[in-house]
C-alpha cells in the first residue's frame, strides 16, 4: 500500500498541520493525515463516506469509526470545519495559511467565535469568510437578550461569482 499522493500545496499544508499538532503535544497520525489530505485536495466539501470510499480506493484499510475519529480530531483542532447544511467537511481556510498555522482558531478575546461560510447551490463549493461585522452583530444581539453564546457558525446559501458569471444553458423548445 503506497501513500496517497497529494498536490504540492496540500503537502505543504499537511506539513504545517503536523507542526501545529506537535506544538500542541498531539500527533497527526497517518490516518488523520490521509483524511486531512483528501479534504484539502478536494475542491468541494467531503462527506465521511466519500472519504471512506476514497481511502479504500487508495488501498487504505478504513472503517467508518476510524474516519469519524479522524474527523473529530481534525475538527477539534480547527483544521477542518463541518458544513452542517451539507453534512460534509472542508479544510480551514485560515488555520494553515502562509508561514504555518495562524493559531487564531477563529476565537476572539472580545467576543464569540463566529465561523462563516458561503455555500454555492450550483457548484457546491464552499468559501470560508471572516467578517468581524458578522461576529460583532452576533455579540450585540446576544448581549441585548442576556444570552452568552459559546460559538456560532453562519452558513449562507447562494450562487458564487463564477457560477453567476457562467452563461445560462440554452433552452431547447419542442415544436
| pLDDT tens digits, one per residue of 98-148 | 444 444 444 434 456 788 999 999 999 999 998 999 999 999 999 999 999
CA atoms within 13 A on the CB side of 12: 8
Contact call for residues 21 and 77 (beta carbons, < 8 A):
yes
pLDDT at res. 61? 77
Nearest to 18 by CA among 7, 26, 10: 26
Report yes or no: 106 and 94 within 8 Å, Cβ to Cβ.
yes
pLDDT of residue 114: 85
Does the residue 53 lie in any domain? Answer: yes
Domain boundary among 99, 118, 140: 99
Q: What pLDDT, on a 0 to 100 scale, did the predictor assign at position 60?
A: 77
Tell me the per-residue pLDDT of 23-52, one tens digit each, with 9 for 90 and over. Answer: 999 999 999 999 999 999 999 999 999 999
**Residues of the domain holding 142:** 106-166
Residues belonging to the binding site are: 120, 123, 160, 163
Q: Binding site for Zn(2+): residue ranges?
A: 120, 123, 160, 163
Q: How confident is the model at residue 62 (pLDDT cuts 50, 70, 90)?
A: confident
135 compared with 173, residue with greater pLDDT = 135
pLDDT (0 to 100) of residue 174: 60
Q: Are 3 and 10 in contact (CB under 8 A)?
A: no
Same domain, residue pair 92 and 13? yes
pTM exceeds cut of 0.95: no
Query: What domain count does the chain have?
Result: 2
Amino acid at each position: 500500500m503506497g501513500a496517497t499522493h497529494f498536490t504540492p500545496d496540500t503537502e505543504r499544508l499537511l506539513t504545517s498541520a503536523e507542526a501545529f499538532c506537535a506544538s500542541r503535544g498531539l500527533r497527526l497520525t497517518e490516518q488523520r493525515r490521509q483524511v486531512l489530505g483528501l479534504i484539502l485536495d478536494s475542491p468541494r466539501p467531503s462527506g465521511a463516506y466519500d472519504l471512506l470510499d476514497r481511502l479504500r480506493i487508495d488501498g487504505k484499510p478504513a472503517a467508518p469509526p476510524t474516519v469519524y475519529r479522524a474527523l473529530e480530531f481534525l475538527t477539534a483542532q480547527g483544521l477542518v470545519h463541518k458544513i452542517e447544511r451539507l453534512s460534509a467537511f472542508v479544510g480551514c481556510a485560515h488555520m494553515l495559511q502562509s508561514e504555518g498555522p495562524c493559531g487564531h482558531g477563529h476565537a476572539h478575546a472580545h467576543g464569540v467565535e463566529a465561523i462563516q461560510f458561503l455555500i454555492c447551490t450550483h457548484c457546491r463549493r464552499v468559501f470560508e469568510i471572516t467578517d468581524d461585522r458578522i461576529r460583532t452583530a452576533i455579540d450585540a444581539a446576544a448581549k441585548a437578550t442576556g444570552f452568552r453564546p459559546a460559538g456560532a457558525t453562519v452558513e449562507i446559501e447562494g450562487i458564487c461569482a463564477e457560477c453567476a458569471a457562467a452563461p445560462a444553458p440554452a433552452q431547447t423548445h419542442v415544436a
